[in-house]
Homo-oligomer: A and B are copies of this chain.
Amino acid sequence: MNPLAIPEIVIRRLPLYLRTLNLLVDDGQTVTSSQELGDRLGISSTQIRKDLSYFGEFGKQGTGYDIRYLRDQLRQILQVDRHWNLVLIGAGDLGRAVLRYSGFEEGGFSIVAVLDKDERKIGRQIGKLKVLAIARLPEVIKEYGTQIAIIAVPASDAQEVANALVRAGVKAILTYAPITLSLPANVCVEYIDPVIGLQSMAYSLSPGHA
C-alpha cells in the first residue's frame, strides 16, 4: 500500500485517536472498541476502522483493540515513538506559555532551545532554557538536528522568522502568528489561530443559526 495515497485528513485524525488511547490507558482500561473511541471523539466507529485500515489490522473481531498495542502502533505510524527536538522562536508571553506546557513532551516533542531578537530577553532563563539570540539559529538547528520549529512572534515578524528557519533547514513549522506564511512546497506548516475558531462560532451563535 502506497503511503503517499493516505489522505491528509486521515493523518490528522490519528493524533486524536492516540490522545484518546492515552487517556484510556491512564484510566487503567486495557481494551477498547471503535465504538468507544468514536463516542469519546464524536466520530463514527466506521470512520475510525476505515482510517486504521490504511495502516494495517490492529483489532480482533468480537473483542476490539488492545489499547496499549494500538497506541504503540499509532506512535510508530506517526513517528512519535521517539522524541523530536524543537526550537521555539519568540520568548514573549506566548513563548513562555508554550515552554511551560507539558503536552509537547508527552506528545513526543522536546523544546531544546528558545530564541528571540529582543536584546532585553536574550540571556533570560525560562524554565530550563536560556533565551538565545536569533542569530544563533543555524548553529542551534545543526547542533540538535532540529527539523521542526514553533513560531511565537508577532505577525509582523513571522514571515521573516519563517524565512530564516527555512534557510537553516527546518522542514516543519507550527506557527501561532495569525498570518499565512509563504513557504517552499516541501516545508510543512500548521497554523494555530484561536480567533478563527471564535469567529466561526460567532456566526453559529447569531439568531437563526444552529
Main SS of chain A's interface residues? Answer: helix
- Point out the residues of chain B lying under 8 angstroms from A35, CB to CB: none
Q: Which of B23, B193, B194, B205 contacts A171 (CB 8 A)?
A: B205
- Oligomer: number of copies: 2
B198 and A109 form a contact (CB under 8 A): yes
B205 and A104 form a contact (CB under 8 A): no
Question: In the bound complex, what is the Cα–Cα distance between A190 and B8 (angstroms)?
Answer: 20
Asked if A93 is at the interface of the complex by the 8 Å CB criterion, the answer is yes
- Point out the residues of chain B lying under 8 angstroms from A198, CB to CB: 84, 86, 104, 107-109, 148, 172, 174, 190
Within 8 A of B (CB), among A1-29: 3-4, 8, 11-12, 14-16, 18-20, 23
The 7 listed contacts between A and B (C-beta, < 8 Å) are: A14-B199, A78-B199, A78-B200, A84-B198, A108-B198, A109-B198, A148-B202
**Residues of A near any B CB (own CB < 8 A):** 3-4, 8, 11-12, 14-16, 18-20, 23, 40-42, 77-80, 84, 86, 93-94, 96-98, 100-101, 103-104, 106-109, 147-148, 150, 171-172, 174, 178-180, 186, 188, 190-206, 208-210
